[in-house]
């Protein structure tokens, strides 16, 4: 049980897994650690740093508990504090997986860890280096005095001698927590936007999680709890929301093609009073009876033919738009609204055709990063992450404002009551704007 002090703070063991860069094995280690501790009978709450949709799906299955995304800029410090506090009240321990490298981004993973005084463990792929890995880890650990580092987890460590060379180069203040041999049986499958969705490979993931837990036990991490800090999480409350969407039914696309949905966004809609109905543009023939429609992001480019062949659903979307009911389309949802979409095989299929333009999966690089979406009703924080392009689009309503760069961000389009953009909106950052997007008649009465 977690102890409470007289200020009602909650103390809970917590550890933050970070790395010098992406691709070091953070998610694999985090998932394996969550599963290993779950097998010990622990209630494990995992958080993911940054606006990530795919890693949380993996980590939720590994831990058996829901996973929240936390970001100091997108969500704010109070929101992050609230989520930690709520988790600490119910969990035996908390694990946070960082994003990118330890100090990448502003705010960075290190900023989040320092804000909440959570010790960090560095996961590093040490292939093709030895003492240099120790030197890099020391540099990361000593870069800032407000960041506590519990030790190094050396991934892809090939031999006992390899381990010795790294360990001998580390000071006593920075212990080598474990050396992990490379193992294809635990690696998590990836595709063009990141990891494969958990829903597509649940049975295979279970095998990989179990193998990953065994992998950590064999490496001596069974007693890693001693490296967790007993962190004090202070109480916090989120602002109370008025039920502006009471009596409003929102149809939400959710299936293999449309799955980039923050649980936090759904909770905001429910707190605003909305009734949520989920449906599948791939498998259903009609949108359910609803007052508004949300088409979130996902992987429509992997299902273009099936989406195009579901003519009854496309007609249902068109009828919904023709009735001028509110529609919010984000990223993959935007592509679905266009006239056509050219997929990864360079094959072009018709889409819903409720917004002028064509989408295509062209080029290896895309847009990503934090932005503020600007609407006449107000501003809301968001992020972009895509590899597609859109062409022959209408004049934008506005452009996103990038977090740290003066260049215009993603275009925001409005056609009657359809709002569409590549931006993924974080609803808790401005619920009033969300209320207006799904119920436009509220715009004149809600404080912006």
Question: Looking at 331, 337, 367, 436, which residue is catalytic?
Answer: 331
Whether the CB-CB separation of 429 and 76 falls below 8 Å is answered with yes
Indicate if 249-442 has the same CATH topology as 10-233.
Answer: yes
CA dihedral 22, 166, 137, 195 (to 10 degrees): 20
Assigned CATH for 249-442: 3.40.50.880
Closest CA to 126 of 136, 111, 140: 136
337 given a catalytic annotation: no
* The two three-digit tokens of residue 91, written as one number: 């969990």
10-233 is classed CATH 3.40.50.620: no
In angstroms, rounded to a whole number, what is the distance separating the alpha carbons of residues 167 and 179? 10
pLDDT tens for the 448 residues of the chain, in order: 344 444 589 999 999 999 999 999 999 999 999 999 999 999 999 999 998 888 899 999 999 999 999 999 999 999 999 999 999 999 999 999 999 999 999 999 999 999 999 999 999 999 999 999 999 999 999 999 999 999 999 999 989 999 999 999 999 999 999 999 987 777 766 544 444 554 566 678 899 999 999 999 999 888 898 899 999 999 999 999 999 999 999 999 999 999 999 999 999 999 999 999 999 999 999 999 999 999 999 999 999 999 999 999 999 999 999 999 999 999 999 999 999 999 989 999 999 999 999 999 876 555 678 999 999 999 999 999 878 889 999 999 999 999 888 889 999 999 999 999 999 999 999 999 999 999 999 988 765 4
Q: In the chain, what are the domain boundaries?
A: 10-233, 249-442
Rg, C-alpha atoms of the chain: 23
Dist CA 257 CA 366 (whole Å): 19
Residue 427 CB contacts under 8 Å (≥ 6 apart), including other chains: 262, 264, 265, 268, 269, 380, 434
Look up the pTM and report it. 0.91
- Rounded to the nearest 10°, the torsion over CA 438, 295, 331, 448 is 10
Q: Which two tokens stand for residue 368?
A: 């990503």
Q: 42 exposed, middle or buried (CB, 10 Å; 0-12, 13-18, 19+)?
A: middle
Joined together, the tokens standing for residue 206 give 């279970």
Report how far residue 153's alpha carbon sits from residue 268's, in angstroms, rounded to the nearest whole number: 38
């Amino acid at each position: 049980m977690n102890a409470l002090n007289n200020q009602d703070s909650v103390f809970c063991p917590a550890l933050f897994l970070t790395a010098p860069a992406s691709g070091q094995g953070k998610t694999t280690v985090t998932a394996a650690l969550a599963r290993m501790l779950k097998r010990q009978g622990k209630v494990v709450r995992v958080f993911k740093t940054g606006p990530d949709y795919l890693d949380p799906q993996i980590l939720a299955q590994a831990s058996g508990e829901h996973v929240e995304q936390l970001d100091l800029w997108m969500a704010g410090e109070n929101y992050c504090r609230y989520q930690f506090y709520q988790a600490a009240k119910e969990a035996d321990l908390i694990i946070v997986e960082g994003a990118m490298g330890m100090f990448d981004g502003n705010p960075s993973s290190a900023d989040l860890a320092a804000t909440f005084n959570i010790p960090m463990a560095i996961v590093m792929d040490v292939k093709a280096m030895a003492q240099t890995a120790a030197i890099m880890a020391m540099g990361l650990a000593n870069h800032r005095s407000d960041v506590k580092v519990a030790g190094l987890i050396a991934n892809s460590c090939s031999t006992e001698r390899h381990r010795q060379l790294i360990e001998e180069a580390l000071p006593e203040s920075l212990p080598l927590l474990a050396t992990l041999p490379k193992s294809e049986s635990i690696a998590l499958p990836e595709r063009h936007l990141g990891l494969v969705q958990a829903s597509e490979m649940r049975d295979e993931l279970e095998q990989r999680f179990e193998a990953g837990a065994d992998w950590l036990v064999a490496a001596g991490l069974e007693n890693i709890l001693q490296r967790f800090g007993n962190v004090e999480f202070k109480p916090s409350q989120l602002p109370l929301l008025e039920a502006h969407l009471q009596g409003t039914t929102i149809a939400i696309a959710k299936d293999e093609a449309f799955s980039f949905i923050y649980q936090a966004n759904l909770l905001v809609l429910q707190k605003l009073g909305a009734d949520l109905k989920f449906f599948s543009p791939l498998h259903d023939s009609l949108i359910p009876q609803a007052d508004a429609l949300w088409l979130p992001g996902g992987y429509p480019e992997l299902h273009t033919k099936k989406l195009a062949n579901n003519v009854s659903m496309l007609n249902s979307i068109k009828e919904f738009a023709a009735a001028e009911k509110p529609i919010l389309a984000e990223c993959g949802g935007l592509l679905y609204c266009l006239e056509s979409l050219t997929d990864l095989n360079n094959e072009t299929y018709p889409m819903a055709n409720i917004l002028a333009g064509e989408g295509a999966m062209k080029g290896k690089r895309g847009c990503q990063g934090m932005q503020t979406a600007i609407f006449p009703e107000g501003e809301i924080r968001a992020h972009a992450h895509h590899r597609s392009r859109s062409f022959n689009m209408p004049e934008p309503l506005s452009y996103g404002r990038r977090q740290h760069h003066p260049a215009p961000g993603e275009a925001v389009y409005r056609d009657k009551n359809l709002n569409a953009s590549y931006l993924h909106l974080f609803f808790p950052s401005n619920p009033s704007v969300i209320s207006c997007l799904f119920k436009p008649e509220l715009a004149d009465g809600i404080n912006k």
